[in-house]
């Protein structure tokens, strides 16, 4: 009934290895699609459900498993409903569309049909943050994690790079229940190699340091945090860097332990500072170990100015130089 029989799935190279990166590149959108393709090869329940954005990396799935590739056109309420219905039929439904379309245009569908019913639907939201740069505010998405986090039972994953995107998409396929995966647009800097491990509810401490903890999540930002930490080390500030890729559920133990060791915490996210990663960090620390938390993220305004992604990041203080300067100021404010 499905086209999966006899197809050898996946690439022989380990995800994150130099050969793998050379073959598949560093676009998290592409590698999430690759993970879906590989999952479909080993599990006939995996479907790809599209909202007329399948050409963003989905054509290989369409070609290999046409019976399980369903384009629902430009109609997101029905897109989510179809995915939920497929899940109720026992399928693993990957919905690939822009994050804003899934979580805002069809928010109530996601709430009722996916979250409340704990449906086995995986929403892969692309074009989040300000990654769409020049495309303008209709294509930016600064609120998705706030919305997804507030939905009971929804797992929220923000991979740091293309390697994490592959691994976390694979983890989402294995996980029973609703998952939101936050992705961007273009290739982003590589953070992880083939030795990296990920788990829903986990985190990775990427650098140790005793002066401040930088908590980051998502494409670009984790790499930026690491670059900022390198700069800070040259100024005598040792920053611990935590990749909090599992934004919900989050790794409370590592957060509390980090706060205890460094005191000050600075969060970085390409998302509104209302309701995102910084809020999640502050919610935990307020309860467990009250600690100063400074949030670096998108300001509470629409990114109306027409400019590139890189320029948008600089404008919002999300480039490495700005992050280093902000962290240094916060260290001086709280610790000197």
Partner 1 sequence: MVTLPVRQPIGLAMHSATAELTLTDLAARIRRHVVELAANSPGAHVGGSMSVTEILTVLFFDDVLRVDPARPDWPDRDYFIFSKGHSSAALYAVLAERGFFPVEELATYKQPGSRLPGHPSKGIPGVELATGSLGHGLPVGVGLALGASRDGADNRVFVVLGDGECQEGSNWEAAMAAAHYRLENLVAIVDRNQFQEDGPTEQIMALEPFADKWRSFGWGVTEVDGHDVHALGAALHQLPVTPGRPTCVIAQTVKGHGLSFTSNTHAWHYGKFTPEQRRQALVELGFNPEERP
* Alpha helix stretches (DSSP H) within 56-123: 59-64, 76-88, 99-100, 107-109
- Specify the stretch interacting with partner 1 by CB under 8 A; choose among 74-82, 133-141, 223-231, 244-252: 74-82
- Please choose, from the candidates 231, 214, 223, the residue with its C-alpha nearest in 3D space to the C-alpha of residue 189: 223
If the CB atoms of residues 81 and 317 are measured against partner 1, the closer one turns out to be 81
Output the furthest CA–CA distance in the chain (Å, rounded). 67
- Which one of 73, 153, 201, 299 is in contact with partner 1 (CB under 8 A)? 73
> How far apart are alpha carbons 146 and 208 in whole angstroms?
28
Instruction: Select the span of 55-63, 108-116, 163-171, 222-230 touching partner 1 (CB under 8 A).
Output: 108-116
- For residue 26, the SS3 value is coil
d(CA 29, CA 10): 16
Among 9, 53, 77, 233, binds partner 1 (CB under 8 A): 77
Pick the binder of partner 1 from 109, 203, 273, 312 (CB under 8 A).
Answer: 109
- How many binding residues for partner 1 (CB under 8 A)? 29
Q: Spell out a b/e string for 169-185, using b for 16 or more CB atoms within 10 Å of the CB, else e.
A: bbbbbebebbbbbbbbb
> What are the residue numbers of the active site?
76
101 or 166: CB nearest partner 1: 101
d(CA 123, CA 49): 10
Q: Which stretch binds partner 1 (CB under 8 A): 109-117, 155-163, 172-180, 225-233?
A: 109-117
Closer of 113 and 243 to partner 1 (Cβ): 113
For partner 1, the closer of residues 87 and 281 by Cβ is: 87
Q: Which is nearer to partner 1, 120 or 246 (CB)?
A: 120
Q: Is 68 among the residues that bind partner 1 (CB under 8 A)? A: yes
Structure tokens at 141: 């998405």
Q: Which of 26, 35, 57, 91 touches partner 1 by CB under 8 A?
A: 91
Applying CB under 8 A, the span of 71-79, 162-170, 310-318, 323-331 interacting with partner 1 comes to 71-79
CB of 158 to partner 1, least distance (A): 27
Task: Kindly tell me which residue out of 81, 202, 292, 317 binds partner 1, with binding defined by CB under 8 A.
Answer: 81
Nearer to partner 1 by Cβ, of 91 and 271: the residue is 91
Q: What angle do CA 208, 199, 164 make, to 5 degrees?
A: 75
Q: Is the peptide bond before 249 cis (omega within 30 degrees of 0)?
A: yes
- 66-79 in b/e burial notation, b at 16+ Cβ within 10 A? eebbbebeeebeeb
Token code pair at residue 319: 């480039």
- Residue 1 within binding range of partner 1, rule CB under 8 A: yes
Strands 239-243 and 212-216: parallel
**Applying CB under 8 A, does 89 fall inside the site for partner 1?**
yes
DSSP label of 159: -
Among 37, 84, 232, 298, binds partner 1 (CB under 8 A): 84
User: CB-hemisphere CA count at 13 Å for 54?
Assistant: 23
Taking CB under 8 A as the criterion, the residue among 90, 152, 234, 236 binding partner 1 is 90
**Contact residues for partner 1, defined by CB under 8 A:** 1-2, 67-68, 70, 72-73, 75, 77-78, 80-91, 93, 108-109, 112-113, 116-117
């Amino acid at each position: 009934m499905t086209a999966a029989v006899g197809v050898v799935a996946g690439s022989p190279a380990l995800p994150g290895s130099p050969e793998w990166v050379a073959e598949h590149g560093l676009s998290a959108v592409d590698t999430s699609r690759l993970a879906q393709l590989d999952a479909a090869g080993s599990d006939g329940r995996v479907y790809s459900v599209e909202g007329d954005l399948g050409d963003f990396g989905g054509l290989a799935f369409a070609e290999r498993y046409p019976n399980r590739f369903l384009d629902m056109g430009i109609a997101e309420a029905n897109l989510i409903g179809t995915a939920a219905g497929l899940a109720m039929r026992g399928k693993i439904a990957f919905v690939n569309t822009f994050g804003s379309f899934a979580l805002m245009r069809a928010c109530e569908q996601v709430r009722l049909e996916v979250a409340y019913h704990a449906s086995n639907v995986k929403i892969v939201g692309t074009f989040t943050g300000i990654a769409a740069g020049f495309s303008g505010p209709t294509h930016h998405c600064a609120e998705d994690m706030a919305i997804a986090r507030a939905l009971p039972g929804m797992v929220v994953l923000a991979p740091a790079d293309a390697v994490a995107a592959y691994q976390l998409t694979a983890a989402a396929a294995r996980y029973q229940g609703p998952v939101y995966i936050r992705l961007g647009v273009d290739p982003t800097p590589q953070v992880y190699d083939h030795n990296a491990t990920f788990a829903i509810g986990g985190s990775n401490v990427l650098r140790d340091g005793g002066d401040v903890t930088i908590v980051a999540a998502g494409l670009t930002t984790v790499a930026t945090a690491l670059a900022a930490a390198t700069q800070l080390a040259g100024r005598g500030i040792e920053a611990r860097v935590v990749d909090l890729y599992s934004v919900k559920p989050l790794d409370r133990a590592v957060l509390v332990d980090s706060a205890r060791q460094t005191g000050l915490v600075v969060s970085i996210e390409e998302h509104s500072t209302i309701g995102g990663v910084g809020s999640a960090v502050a919610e935990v620390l307020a309860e467990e170990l009250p600690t100063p938390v400074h949030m670096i993220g998108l300001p509470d305004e629409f990114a109306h100015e027409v400019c590139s992604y890189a320029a948008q990041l600089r404008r919002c203080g999300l480039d490495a130089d700005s992050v280093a300067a902000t962290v240094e100021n916060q260290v001086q404010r709280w610790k000197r």
